[in-house]
């Protein structure tokens, strides 16, 4: 059975790019373009959530907080994938990790391929 | 007194309350008015306002009584009781000398309020009072108005004379029928009223005849009301009616009110007179420099101000004796000498301690003060001594003798105190207060400029001061202070090393010099080797106050071989300087006099003094010497000659160019002396044409040299004074007008300087800031730490002077301002105190702009990231073949695009890092960790990149570093190393070599990491700037290599934030070594 990824991303082009790559790698992709939809779709129990931070409405941190507080979604691993902040010792990263994110990736640093391999690593670990 | 009241059997509302507050007496009508149930049953009990009084009226009355009882002051108050208005008069009653209770009189003034005639009277009186008539006429007019309007038979106003406490008639309606009347306080009805402050109406009866203030033939009803203002009884208003008529209660009240108005007028007027007299006093004190008349006039004014009381002024002539300067009423203080000495010293001590006038009466019985007390009649022994204080020093006393019974209030003491300081200031200014110390000051000043021996003698011919030069001139063997000059002259060998011939007959001259004010000269010479000739001039000090004489000694040993004429001439010259100095002439004036005197002295035609400034000659003084006002040194051969020779010379006619611009026409010979200071020539003195066809000789050269030296020293001090003054002026203008906030704090952190810009910056005015502790109000945005504390702590850390940094500062209006701080070199003043000067730059605007810029960069960079992510992502997918296989060209081209995008991503990252660094948002997670592992990791990461360029990467560490942990944020340090290695690869040619070396520094406190390459290197001119923002070394390789100069700036910031240092060594064309240190974890 294919693993499901919830891709929370408001930028159409980036969403499309990650979706294409993930499907190519055999993942089933559910998309959400803002925080509210993300929370709703998380109930469908995806295997992993890719979460953007800067979004209209609820921002990524708020979504993350709610996901982790909700018993239904708390165990789903979340990868924060954003263009805010920096990966090395930054307050944004600290915040994301303290809220329960598995890791914090800056989009512009990583190719879609690298993102997929990160997802693979995390899913292998949680299995 | 109460007995008398009882005998009078007057039933008006009267209550008497004992001093302890117990009810003593209450008349029937008073009881009714107060409406206190069974009031007569309360006699002997304490009346409590809350317990006994059922009406507001009675409560108010009792409260007023309490007030009078505690203040011991009479009060009048209008209180309402229903429709009625009462004037409640409460007054302390004094029997014997003790307060015995409070009397209360309740008077119904309702009637008065409605009575038209009385209103009219009041109206008249008010208008009279506001008229501009002299006060005595006003009271007289009022008195007449009262008598006429109220249809009385007469009246008078009696006033209390403050010094004697005697009542006298000020004005009366029937002068002819009144005998002059003076009453002591408490004597007669008026005396009783004036003492108690209670109005009293006496109907005519035979019995009371003795009280009535009329001639024996005429019997009258009398009303006597006190003149009270501000709690002070000034006198009494007496009114009378023909026999058979009585003063109604309401009238008593009306007149009480009128009386208090009259009292107001009298008091205001008295104050005005005191003011005028003080003004007159000030005028007298400023009138003439001649002291004695001033003091005599002044003391008369003082007496007038204080109300015709005897006064005297004394000053201390020496430490113990008081000397009378002036007095009134022929009063004096005094006693036996030893008593005087003791008591004056004690008074001095007391005034020194309190700083305010003291009442000697308080020490009347203590013996020592008795001697100071005035001995002029019985009743005048209430003496006040007030200090005459100048510059914090008590130098005299003002004595005021009041009558024994006079009450002396605070106001009087304050007035005396003010007058004393007024007197003291003048006395001091007028040089009356010329004590030995001051003379010493003058002498010391003279000594500094002349270098002559100076001896100051007192009237007895004893030495009270001598200067250093005396020691040298006389070859003193021991201290001569306190010795008589005559004993030194008669036995010189006892005091001096030189064998001077004794001058026994001088003692008489000395005495006469001191007493008759004549000057004498003397010569002290030795008859055997070493030869020494000392000449002295004894001049009396014409100061009536201290007297004595000044002996000036000069060494004539050297010039004794010159002929007598010469000696006199030198003396004349020196005298000229001395006289000028003594008379306080300005230096320039002295120079002018000397130059003008030179032709006379040298028997020549003319003289000039040219100052040399920047190659220009400026004639500052001249006599019979025509020349231009400004000359160029190079234009005058004569001037050049004297400047180059640097010593006095005679220039003869043969050497003189007739066209020399300095010289007047028909100059045949001149004598010049240059003034040399520090090897440079600052001026020339020249004298021309010896008279009678003679030539300038040796003596002339000597004289002009002396003149030259003196003028030189005067010019020097003149220049010094000028420079200091100008510098000071410049500095203070600079400080005040500076746009930068400038302030200074002294040792204990209080503000000692505060300029205008500081006031603008902080909102605290100079007055508010000066002397305040800086840390108490100059608070920074860093945890509210005081600014000075912050500077001091950072000074300790950096040990750097004047380091500049930026901080937020709280202003007075609780806003924050960004300021740049530049704390300046601590200055030590003479007392060894350190003063720190701090400059604050308001950089709020700049900070605001910087913040906006950072926000802008940050926002732009973030915005750039999204499209870059898409480009990079898709490009990576294309290269990976996600969109189908690529041919070789496509692969190469897309590879180029990809690496360019990578560079762009890196640049955006750098920009964001710079903003983080500047806004101090970068978080450091510093923990002990091994550095060598990290270095290895970095080496591994870059292996591929180096390999592509054919560069060899070499890594060296030593065993020393095994198990050594450094304090670092691993991610950041990795970033540092990566940046350095990346740079090294960028700037190294193909097939180059890069080596990384780790070692402990000399002190073992740091691990140093060295990244060495053999690349292009950095030109020496640019090496200082490599770590600056926006800097990139300009060389061919760097253009290929790219990079926008932010890398090393970020690297330096990262190193410094981890308490390390970074530095670089480089040789252009041969390579660079970048090194950075990280502190070792010592725990």
Does residue A68 belong to any structural domain of this protein? yes
Question: In the prediction, which pLDDT does B802 show?
Answer: 47
Whether B866 sits inside 8 A of A83 (CB atoms) is yes
Of A92-106, B95-109, B164-178, B670-684, minimum mean pLDDT range: B164-178
CATH of the domain at A114: 3.40.50.2300
Interatomic CA distance for residues B468 and B187, integer angstroms: 73
Q: Count CB neighbours of A12 within 10 A.
A: 10
Per the structure block, which two tokens stand in for B302?
């003082």
Subunit contact B865:A24, Cβ cutoff 8 A: no
**Using CA atoms, how far apart are residues B488 and B502, in angstroms rounded to an integer?**
8
Between CA B810 and CA B815 the distance in angstroms is 6
Residue A11 lies in a domain: no
More confident residue, B473 or A4: A4
| Position B1009 confidence tier, pLDDT thresholds 50, 70, 90 | very high
The pair of three-digit structure tokens given for residue B931, joined into one six-digit string = 């550095």
Most confident of B435-444, B519-528, B922-931: B922-931
Residue B379's closest CA among B398, B399, B406? Answer: B406
Domain range for A53: 34-126
CATH class of B574-717: alpha beta
A122 at the B interface (CB within 8 A)?
no
Any CB–CB contact under 8 A between A21 and chain B?
yes
Fold of B2-108: Beta-Lactamase (3.30.450)
Average pLDDT value over all residues in chain B: 76
User: What per-residue confidence (pLDDT) applies to B216?
Assistant: 43
pLDDT value at B1079 more than 80: yes
CA B971 to chain A, closest CA, distance in angstroms equals 6
What ranges make up the beta strands (E) of B332-381?
Answer: 358-359
A25 and B CB contact within 8 Å: no
Higher-scoring residue by pLDDT: B652, B842:
B842
Q: Could you tell me if A126 lies within 8 Å of chain B, comparing CB atoms?
A: no
Residues of A in contact with B913 (CB under 8 A): 86
Structure tokens at B28: 């029937």
Confidence of residue B1040 (pLDDT cuts 50, 70, 90): very low
Instruction: Answer yes or no: is A2 within a domain.
Output: no
User: Is 80 exceeded by the pLDDT of residue B159?
Assistant: yes
Classify domain B738-842 at the CATH topology level: Beta-Lactamase (3.30.450)
Distance from CA of B923 to the nearest CA of A (A): 6
CB contact under 8 A, A83 and B972: no
Alpha-carbon distance values, B223 to B87, B189, B212 (Å): 16, 9, 10
Buried b / exposed e over B302-321, threshold 16 CB at 10 Å, is: bbbbbbebbbbbbbbeeeee
**Among B611-615, B685-689, B883-887, which is the least confidently predicted range?**
B611-615
Chain B contact present for A109, CB below 8 A: yes
From CA B578, how far away is CA B584, in angstroms rounded? 10
Which residues does chain B have within 8 Å of residue A84's beta carbon, measured at their own beta carbons? 862
Residue pair B607/B627 in contact (Cβ under 8 Å)? The answer is no
Q: What is the mean pLDDT of residues B556-565?
A: 54
Nearest to B880 among A11, A18, A113 (CB): A113
Q: Can you give the pLDDT at residue A17?
A: 94
Average pLDDT over residues B5-16: 61
Q: In CATH terms, is domain B113-272 a member of 3.40.50.10490?
A: no
Per-residue confidence at B309, pLDDT binned at 50, 70, 90?
A: confident
Q: For residue range B817-869, what is the model confidence (pLDDT) as tens digits?
A: 888 887 765 655 545 556 778 888 888 888 888 888 888 888 888 889 899 99
Q: Is the link from the previous residue into B530 a cis peptide, with omega within 30 of 0?
A: yes
**Can you read off the two tokens belonging to residue B903?**
């560079």
Mean pLDDT of B132-161: 78
- B873:A88 CB<8 A: no
Classify residue A24: in a domain, yes or no: no
What is the nearest CA distance from A53 to chain B, expressed in angstroms? 12
Provide ipTM, 2 decimals. 0.92
pLDDT band at B1074 (very low <50, low <70, confident <90, very high): very high
Give the range with max mean pLDDT: B290-294, B1025-1029, B1031-1035: B1025-1029
Report the residue of A13, A20, A95, A108 to disrupt the B interface, i.e. the one with the largest count of B CBs within 10 Å.
A108
Inside any domain, residue A29: no
pLDDT 10s digits, A88-100: 657 788 888 899 9
Inside any domain, residue A13: no
A124 touches chain B (CB under 8 A): no
CB atoms within 10 A of CB B339: 16
Does residue A19 belong to any structural domain of this protein? no
A95 touches chain B (CB under 8 A): no
Query: Shortest CB distance from B874 goes to which of A17, A86, A88?
Result: A17
Whether residue B88 is predicted with pLDDT greater than 50 in this model: the reply is yes
Q: Does A118 touch chain B (CB under 8 A)?
A: no
DSSP character string of B144-159: HHHHHHTT-SEEEEEE
Inter-chain residue contact B923 with A13, CB threshold 8 Å: no
* Res B1031 pLDDT > 70: no
pLDDT of residue B431: 47
> How far is the C-alpha of B328 from the C-alpha of B423, rounded, in Å?
16
Nearest CA in chain B to A14: B870
Among B874, B880, B924, beta carbon nearest to A89 = B924
Q: Phi and psi for B1059 in degrees, rounded to 5?
A: 65, 30
Q: Does A112 touch chain B (CB under 8 A)?
A: yes
Superfamily of domain B288-429: GAF domain (3.30.450.40)
Pick from B865, B909, B916: which is nearest to A107 by CB?
A: B865
- Residue B558's pLDDT band (cuts 50, 70, 90): low
Distance in angstroms (rounded) separating the CA atoms of residues B73 and B851: 71
pLDDT tens digits, one per residue of B390-407: 666 677 788 887 766 666
Q: Which CATH architecture has domain B923-1079?
A: 2-Layer Sandwich (3.30)
Q: What domain count does chain A have?
A: 1
Q: At B8, is the pLDDT very low, low, confident or very high (cuts 50, 70, 90)? A: very low
């Amino acid at each position: 059975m294919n693993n499901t990824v919830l891709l929370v991303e408001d930028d159409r082009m980036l969403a499309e790019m990650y979706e294409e790559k993930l499907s190519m790698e055999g993942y089933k992709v559910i998309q959400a373009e803002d925080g509210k939809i993300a929370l709703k779709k998380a109930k469908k129990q995806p295997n992993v959530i890719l979460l953007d931070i800067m979004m209209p409405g609820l921002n990524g941190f708020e979504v993350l907080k709610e996901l982790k507080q909700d018993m239904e979604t708390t165990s789903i691993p979340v990868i924060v994938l954003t263009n805010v902040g920096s990966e090395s010792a930054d307050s944004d990263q600290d915040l994301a990790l303290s809220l329960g994110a598995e890791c914090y990736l800056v989009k512009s640093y990583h190719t879609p391929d690298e993102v997929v391999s990160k997802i693979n690593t995390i899913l292998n670990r949680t299995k | 007194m109460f007995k008398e009241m009882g005998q009078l059997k007057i039933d008006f509302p009267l209550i008497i309350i004992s001093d302890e507050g117990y009810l003593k007496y209450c008349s029937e009508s008073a009881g009714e008015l107060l409406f206190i149930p069974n009031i007569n049953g309360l006699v002997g009990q304490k009346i409590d306002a809350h317990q006994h009084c059922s009406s507001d009226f009675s409560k108010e009355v009792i409260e007023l009584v309490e007030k009078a009882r505690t203040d011991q002051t009479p009060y009048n108050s209008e209180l309402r009781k229903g429709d009625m208005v009462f004037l409640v008069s409460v007054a302390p009653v004094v029997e014997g000398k003790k307060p015995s209770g409070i009397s209360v009189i309740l008077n119904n003034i309702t009637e008065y309020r409605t009575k038209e005639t009385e209103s009219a009277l009041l109206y008249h009186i008010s208008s009279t009072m506001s008229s501009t008539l002299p006060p005595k006429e006003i009271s007289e007019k009022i008195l007449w108005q009262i008598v006429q309007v109220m249809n009385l038979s007469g009246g008078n106003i009696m006033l209390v004379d403050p010094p004697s406490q005697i009542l006298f008639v000020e004005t009366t309606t029937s002068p002819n029928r009144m005998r002059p009347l003076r009453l002591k306080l408490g004597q007669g009805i008026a005396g009783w009223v004036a003492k108690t402050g209670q109005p009293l109406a006496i109907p005519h009866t035979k019995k009371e005849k003795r009280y009535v203030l009329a001639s024996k033939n005429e019997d009258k009803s009398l009303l006597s009301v006190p003149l009270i203002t501000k709690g002070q009884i000034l006198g009494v208003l007496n009114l009378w009616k023909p026999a058979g008529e009585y003063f109604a209660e309401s009238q008593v009240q009306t007149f009480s009110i009128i009386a208090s108005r009259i009292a107001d007028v009298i008091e205001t007027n008295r104050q005005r007179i005191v003011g005028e007299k003080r003004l007159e006093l000030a005028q007298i004190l400023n009138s003439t420099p001649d002291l004695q008349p001033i003091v005599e006039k002044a003391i008369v004014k003082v007496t007038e101000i204080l109300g015709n009381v005897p006064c005297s002024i004394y000053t201390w002539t020496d430490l113990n004796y008081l000397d009378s300067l002036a007095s009134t009423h022929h009063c004096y203080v005094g006693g036996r000498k030893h008593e005087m000495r003791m008591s004056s010293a004690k008074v001095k001590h007391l005034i020194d301690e309190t700083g305010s006038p003291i009442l000697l009466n308080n020490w009347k019985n203590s013996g020592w003060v008795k001697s100071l007390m005035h001995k002029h009649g019985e009743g005048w022994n209430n003496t006040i001594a007030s200090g005459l204080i100048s510059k914090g020093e008590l130098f005299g006393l003002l004595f005021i003798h009041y009558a024994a019974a006079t009450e002396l209030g605070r106001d009087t003491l304050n007035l005396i105190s003010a007058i004393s300081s007024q007197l003291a200031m003048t006395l001091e200014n007028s040089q009356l207060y010329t004590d030995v110390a001051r003379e010493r000051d003058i002498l010391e000043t003279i000594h500094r400029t002349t270098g002559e021996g100076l001896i100051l003698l007192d009237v007895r011919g004893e030495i009270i001061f001598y200067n250093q030069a005396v020691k040298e001139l006389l070859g003193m063997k021991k201290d001569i202070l306190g010795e008589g000059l005559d004993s030194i002259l008669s036995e010189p060998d006892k005091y001096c090393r030189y064998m001077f011939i004794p001058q026994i007959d001088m003692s008489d001259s000395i005495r006469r010099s001191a007493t008759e004010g004549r000057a004498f000269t003397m010569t002290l010479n030795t008859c055997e080797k070493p030869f020494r000739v000392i000449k002295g001039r004894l001049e009396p000090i014409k100061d009536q106050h201290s007297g004595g004489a000044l002996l000036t000694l000069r060494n004539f040993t050297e010039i004794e071989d010159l002929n007598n004429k010469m000696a006199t001439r030198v003396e004349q010259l020196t005298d000229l300087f001395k006289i000028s100095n003594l008379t306080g002439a300005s230096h320039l004036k002295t120079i002018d006099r000397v130059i003008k005197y030179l032709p006379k002295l040298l028997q020549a035609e003319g003289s000039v003094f040219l100052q040399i400034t920047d190659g220009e000659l400026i004639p500052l003084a001249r006599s019979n010497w025509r020349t231009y006002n400004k000359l160029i040194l190079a234009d005058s051969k004569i001037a050049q000659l004297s400047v180059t020779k640097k010593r006095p010379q005679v220039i003869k006619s043969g050497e003189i160019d007739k066209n020399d611009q300095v010289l007047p026409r028909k100059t045949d010979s001149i004598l010049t002396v240059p003034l040399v200071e520090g090897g440079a020539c600052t001026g020339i003195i020249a004298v021309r044409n010896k008279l009678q066809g003679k030539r300038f000789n040796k003596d002339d050269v000597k004289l002009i040299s002396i003149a030259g030296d003196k003028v030189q020293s005067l010019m020097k001090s003149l220049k010094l004074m000028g420079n200091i003054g100008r510098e000071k002026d410049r500095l203070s203008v600079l400080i005040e007008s500076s746009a930068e906030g400038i302030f200074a704090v002294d040792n204990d952190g209080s503000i000692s300087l505060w300029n205008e810009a500081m006031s603008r910056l902080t909102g605290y005015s100079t007055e508010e800031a000066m002397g305040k502790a800086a840390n108490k109000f100059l608070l920074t945005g860093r945890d509210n730490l005081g600014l000075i504390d912050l500077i001091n702590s950072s000074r300790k850390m950096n040990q750097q002077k004047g380091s500049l940094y930026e901080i937020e500062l709280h202003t007075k209006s609780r806003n924050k301002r960004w300021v740049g701080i530049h704390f300046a070199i601590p200055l030590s003043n003479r007392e060894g105190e350190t003063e720190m000067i701090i400059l604050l730059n308001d950089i709020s605007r700049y900070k605001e702009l910087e913040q906006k810029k950072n926000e802008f960069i940050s926002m732009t960079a973030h915005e750039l990231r999204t499209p870059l992510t898409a480009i990079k992502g898709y490009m990576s997918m294309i290269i990976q073949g996600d969109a189908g296989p690529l041919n070789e060209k496509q692969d190469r081209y897309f590879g180029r695009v990809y690496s360019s995008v990578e560079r762009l991503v890196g640049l955006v990252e750098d920009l964001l890092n710079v903003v983080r660094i500047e806004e101090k948002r970068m978080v450091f997670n510093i923990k002990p960790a091994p550095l060598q592992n990290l270095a290895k990791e970095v080496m591994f990461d870059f292996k591929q990149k180096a390999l592509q360029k054919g560069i060899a990467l070499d890594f060296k560490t030593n065993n020393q570093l095994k198990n050594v942990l450094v304090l670092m944020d691993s991610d950041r340090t990795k970033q540092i190393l990566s940046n350095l290695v990346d740079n090294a690869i960028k700037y190294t040619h193909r097939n180059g070599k890069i080596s990384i070396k780790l070692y402990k520094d000399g002190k073992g406190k740091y691990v140093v990491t060295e990244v060495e390459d053999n690349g292009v290197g950095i030109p020496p001119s640019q090496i200082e700037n490599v770590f600056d923002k926006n800097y990139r070394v300009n060389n061919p390789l760097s253009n290929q290599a790219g990079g926008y100069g932010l890398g090393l700036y970020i690297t330096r910031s990262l190193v410094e934030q981890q308490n390390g240092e970074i530095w670089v060594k480089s040789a252009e064309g041969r390579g660079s070594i970048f090194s950075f240190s990280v502190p070792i974890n010592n725990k």
